[in-house]
Chains A and B, each alone.
Chain A
Amino acid sequence: MSTLYVVIEIDGRLAAVDAADVQSVIELENVYPVPRAPAWVTGLTAMRSQSLTVIDCRLALGLAAADMAGERSPVVKVAGHLYALKVDAVDDVLEARSEVMPVPGGFGPGWQRIGQGMIETDRGPVLLVDVEALIAGPEAKAA
């Protein structure tokens, strides 16, 4: 069992994204807002001649906005589009020490929609994030 996960921090909690999904981790600077776009879409930014859509993970989870977002941001590719995830911090790349497990009692509102399960790591239990659900934003919950 050697799947690698990128551990990130959202709203003070640890979460993990499959490292295979993460293209790179970039420094977020120069984000260009998109007028009339949903709130969790912070804007566009550029990486190596490609444009990325920046997603504010707190807002995408339906949580309150916070200024404490870190500089570093993982880049993921979903359905051919590149997204930069605005998170509190990019923590580490770790190996999972367990299979994906359900969490007794669920993850709570917001998190429930994006959670695939829980994995054990050296840093303790971490929520495994469904990136596709995350970038769909809080409104997708209703659907």
Chain B
Amino acid sequence: MDDLLTDFVAETREMLEAIGGEIVAWEANPGDRARLDAIFRFVHTVKGNCGFFDFPRLEKLSHAAEGALAEVRAERRHPDSRLVNAVLAIIDRISVMIDAIEAGTEIPQGGDEYLVAALEPDAGDTGETVAMQNAAAQASSAQSDATGSAATATPRTIRLPVELLDRVMSGVSDMVLARNDLARRLREAGAEPTLDGPFERMTSILTDVREAVTRMRMQRIELLYNALPRLVRDLSAELGKQVMVDLDGGDVELDREMIEMMRDPMTHIIRNAIDHGVETPSARLAAGKREIGLLSISARQSGNRITVTVSDDGAGLNHEKIGLKAVASGLVTDKELAAMSRNEIVDLIFEPGLSTAEEVSSVSGRGVGMDVVRANIERVGGSISVTSEKNEGTQFHLQIPLTLSIISALTVSAGGQRFAIPQSYVEEIVHGGAKAIEFSKIGETRLMTFRDRRTACVSLGYVLGLTENDVGKAQKLVLLRFGPTELFALAVDAIHDQEDLVVKPLAPAIMQTGFYSGTTLLDDGNPVLMLDIPILAQRSGLSIEARTRAASTKANDNDERSQNARKLMTFVGFDGRRKAIGMELVVRIDQVVPEAIDRSDDHAKVVVGDTIYTLLGLEPDCELEESVKLLRLSDSQSQLSYAVAELGESVEITDEIKPVPQDASLEGIVLHSGKPLRVLDGFGLFAQHASRPVAPDRPVCRIPLHDAWASRMLEPLVQAAGYRIADADDEHVDIVITVAGDSGDDPVEAAETPAIVLYGDPADAARATGGVYRYDRNGLVDALRRAQREKVA
């Protein structure tokens, strides 16, 4: 049985036990609203959980009971004793089924429909009675089974007050500190072989206990993540959007209660992100983004806090609209608004009574605003903040406290003081003196280029006011990552050690500075401050900028990964055919008026912005509508425009593309959704039409015609050297390459034309003037260069 299922069974059991009393009380007094609610929550939860597993009968039962109870809650139905009995029978049946699931046996057959029917207001007494007896019989038989196999009936869990766990945890962490202290004293006292053995043993036991204790209350945030892909899928389907979800940091552990507490706020933020943040596929394409929106959720532990970041790459928050709304609802005055920064305005979304949605949609407009989300998070001592950039997306940062934590950290020093950095942020450590690193100064911002990646570089000493803003070769650089994509370099004077540290909360006066997330004692007994990396980055003004930069490197990774599946952009050409072109070539989509297109000569051109592009894709006599959609293609050096009659979607093709030798403009044809899709040969397009600056007087070189070796091997080489290959009807050429001994039918050149003769034997080549061995690549290139220089001279 997998973990999820075990959890499900355990949770359901726990709830069954808990509501055991409620059921009895409700039976005694069916009008008791609190009991009714508790039972309703139970069947509702069971129903919800069933969705993950394939328990149709369980789901049907709980659904039926939920429906009936909802009627009662809405006061459309009076809870008579028959209804109470029917609900109780269903709960009994659920209990039997849970036992069966846990034991891995077949769920007892039949009888469900009677139970469901008994819930109906006008259920006949017969059906009901039958069902009751049936259920009762099964329950009792299950019980007798259970007594037979004691293992299943023995509870494997006990309930403990959380305070007790807290006490044990803080006791163990104090023990770790005392152990560290003792270790230091032992070291100072010199070797004591009689003590070392027991001390080692204590250390290893303590490590075990610490781990066990930590796990007692902690659960991986995965528990929260598990439900998210489904939620995102359902929401995006409902709203007609395409959203991909990227979950990171699922192994971060936090308090089980915290996970439960975060469920609602997270759901709300995700709903908002999909509903209001991510645009429709067409709007995204028009904005030059991939049509599939990306929702990234990441969790990091930092000191005694967990940072959960929910970020989307949607339209971003519209601060103008938020501002207007805030004024309209009396939150701020016009004057106050004018004095507010963009970020301050964006923060207004957390104020009560502000919803920017134009219309209340079924998804996010349920009257629960971000103010409630904030209130819920603050209730447990957390905080929430938002950053948003127009058209780039929105990030919500949730910070949730941990009462206690032991985390792995890197100790560094700056300005003569030591600090700790949570290991989870550390991506890489580089020495400032390394050759691969270049520093540059843009205004007051320091940048660092390392492995072709440019990141902002922040001096820790400077941020903390200890030193000048100097970032240099003498320093060490810690590349830090926070959130799924953000990256920056922190310059420190020295890097010491990596240790497991027990992080304790700081006094409020120090907490208020915002730079630290906690304090801890090192093995040598000295206190050290744990840096709060996201705040540090935020204070240095890095967040958004760094995010986009790192994001671009991430996109490249994706391309590499999906090499097998090619992404194509489909469209309908002006010839009415379905075509596609490699997504990697499409940089954006333009819309132009027909007047911007010049078709006066053979080569159509189009003006987009201030630039003229070669325009492809038009048919000679096609009619142009009011606006023409153009795909902007780029091979990273030059750009082309390709006119399309109709934009399609982006598709992933894993099938092989079948070549079509008859049509040189096509890479081939591939089947997609049962229809042929013509895939344009992007390479060919650029080879033929690229508006790369071409030297007008490119020298012409004649190479042997009709020679397979020449066209395959020689031609690219000669072209790379800056020559154009002569056609059969080129009368003048600048240089001719012939192959010795191959008289052939090549046109004879004028005698003064320089010539290179290729020999099959290096010895012959050395003897002849202008002779080159056919595989002497350098020699050939040299000879071509020489000829070119002579021509210019």
A137 to B631, CA, bound (A): 64
B788 interface residue (CB < 8 Å to A): no
Residues of B within 8 A of A41 (CB): 507, 509-510
Chain A: CB-nearest residue to B419 = A35
Chain A: CB-nearest residue to B415 = A35
Interchain CB contact under 8 A, B464 and A36: yes
Interface residues of A in 23-72 (CB under 8 A from B): 30, 32-38, 40-41, 44-46, 48-51, 53
Residues of B within 8 A of A83 (CB): 507
CB distance from A131 to the nearest CB of B (A): 13
A44 to B526, CA, bound (A): 9
CB distance from A81 to the nearest CB of B (A): 4
- Give the contacting residue for B527; candidates A32, A38, A48, A136; CB below 8 A: A32
Interchain CB contact under 8 A, B466 and A30: no
A134 to B788, CA, bound (A): 86
CB distance from A48 to the nearest CB of B (A): 8
Interchain CB contact under 8 A, B526 and A30: yes
CB distance from B533 to the nearest CB of A (A): 15
Interchain CB contact under 8 A, A37 and B526: no
A8 interface residue (CB < 8 Å to B): no
- Give the contacting residue for B513; candidates A34, A46, A79; CB below 8 A: A34
- Give the contacting residue for A45; candidates B177, B504, B527; CB below 8 A: B527
Interchain CB contact under 8 A, A32 and B505: no
A33 to B461, CA, bound (A): 13
Main SS of the interface on chain B?
A: mixed
Residues of A within 8 A of B418 (CB): 32
A127 to B527, CA, bound (A): 33
Residues of A within 8 A of B520 (CB): 51
CB distance from B539 to the nearest CB of A (A): 10
A10 to B174, CA, bound (A): 33
Interchain CB contact under 8 A, B177 and A49: yes
CB distance from B524 to the nearest CB of A (A): 9
A135 to B508, CA, bound (A): 10
> Given A36-B464, A38-B509, A135-B509, are A51 and B417 neighbors across the interface (CB < 8 Å)?
no
CB distance from B266 to the nearest CB of A (A): 29
B521 interface residue (CB < 8 Å to A): yes
Interchain CB contact under 8 A, A36 and B465: yes
Contact code string A116-132 (vs B, CB < 8 Å = 1, else 0): 00000000000000000
Interface residues of B in 448-489 (CB under 8 A from A): 464-466
| Interface size of A in residues (CB-CB distance below 8 Å) | 25
Interchain CB contact under 8 A, A35 and B181: no
Contact code string B511-542 (vs A, CB < 8 Å = 1, else 0): 01101100111000111110000000000000
> Given A35-B417, A35-B465, are A44 and B527 neighbors across the interface (CB < 8 Å)?
yes
Interchain CB contact under 8 A, A81 and B526: no
Residues of A within 8 A of B521 (CB): 46, 49-51
A50 to B505, CA, bound (A): 11
- Give the contacting residue for B525; candidates A34, A38, A49; CB below 8 A: A49
Interchain CB contact under 8 A, B529 and A34: yes
Chain A: CB-nearest residue to B514 = A36
B429 interface residue (CB < 8 Å to A): no
- Give the contacting residue for A50; candidates B177, B415, B507, B516; CB below 8 A: B177
| Residue picked from B174, B180, B527, most chain A C-beta under 10 Å | B527
A35 to B417, CA, bound (A): 9
Chain B: CB-nearest residue to A53 = B507
B100 interface residue (CB < 8 Å to A): no
Interface residues of B in 641-683 (CB under 8 A from A): none
Interchain CB contact under 8 A, A51 and B527: yes
Contact code string B175-195 (vs A, CB < 8 Å = 1, else 0): 001101100000000000000
A136 to B527, CA, bound (A): 22
Interchain CB contact under 8 A, B504 and A34: no
A91 to B465, CA, bound (A): 37
A37 to B417, CA, bound (A): 14
CB distance from A56 to the nearest CB of B (A): 11
Interchain CB contact under 8 A, B510 and A53: yes
Chain B: CB-nearest residue to A41 = B509
Residues of B within 8 A of A46 (CB): 521, 525-527
CB distance from A143 to the nearest CB of B (A): 13
A45 to B521, CA, bound (A): 9
B506 interface residue (CB < 8 Å to A): yes
Interchain CB contact under 8 A, A34 and B178: no
Residues of A within 8 A of B464 (CB): 35-36
A115 to B534, CA, bound (A): 39
Interchain CB contact under 8 A, A36 and B513: yes
> Given A41-B509, A46-B521, A49-B180, are A32 and B526 neighbors across the interface (CB < 8 Å)?
yes
Contact code string A72-94 (vs B, CB < 8 Å = 1, else 0): 00000001110100000000000
A41 to B513, CA, bound (A): 11
Interchain CB contact under 8 A, B509 and A51: no
Residues of A within 8 A of B465 (CB): 35-36
Interchain CB contact under 8 A, A37 and B509: yes
Interchain CB contact under 8 A, A51 and B510: no
CB distance from B510 to the nearest CB of A (A): 5
Chain B: CB-nearest residue to A34 = B510
Residues of B within 8 A of A35 (CB): 415, 417, 464-466, 515
A128 to B528, CA, bound (A): 33
| Residue picked from B464, B506, B509, B510, most chain A C-beta under 10 Å | B509
CB distance from B588 to the nearest CB of A (A): 44
A81 to B510, CA, bound (A): 11
Interchain CB contact under 8 A, B529 and A44: yes
Interchain CB contact under 8 A, B177 and A81: no
CB distance from A89 to the nearest CB of B (A): 24
CB distance from A74 to the nearest CB of B (A): 16
Interchain CB contact under 8 A, A37 and B513: yes
A79 to B504, CA, bound (A): 13
Interchain CB contact under 8 A, B174 and A34: no
CB distance from B102 to the nearest CB of A (A): 42
A27 to B418, CA, bound (A): 22
Interchain CB contact under 8 A, B509 and A53: yes
A16 to B63, CA, bound (A): 67
- Give the contacting residue for A51; candidates B178, B508, B515, B519; CB below 8 A: B519
A77 to B477, CA, bound (A): 38
> Given A32-B417, A49-B181, A51-B519, are A135 and B507 neighbors across the interface (CB < 8 Å)?
yes
| Residue picked from A32, A35, A80, most chain B C-beta under 10 Å | A35
| Residue picked from A36, A48, A50, A81, most chain B C-beta under 10 Å | A36
Please name 11 further chain A to chain B contacts, defined as beta carbons within 8 Å, in addition to the given A48-B181, A49-B178, A49-B181, sorted by A numbering.
A32-B418, A41-B510, A44-B519, A44-B527, A50-B504, A51-B520, A51-B521, A81-B505, A81-B506, A81-B507, A137-B509
User: What are the 5 closest A-B residue pairs judged by CB atoms, nearest first?
Assistant: A35-B464, A51-B527, A49-B177, A53-B507, A44-B527
Could you jot down 15 A-B contacts, CB within 8 Å? A32-B528, A35-B415, A35-B417, A35-B465, A35-B466, A38-B513, A41-B510, A44-B529, A46-B525, A49-B181, A51-B527, A53-B506, A79-B508, A80-B505, A81-B505
Residues of A within 8 A of B (CB): 30, 32-38, 40-41, 44-46, 48-51, 53, 79-81, 83, 135-137
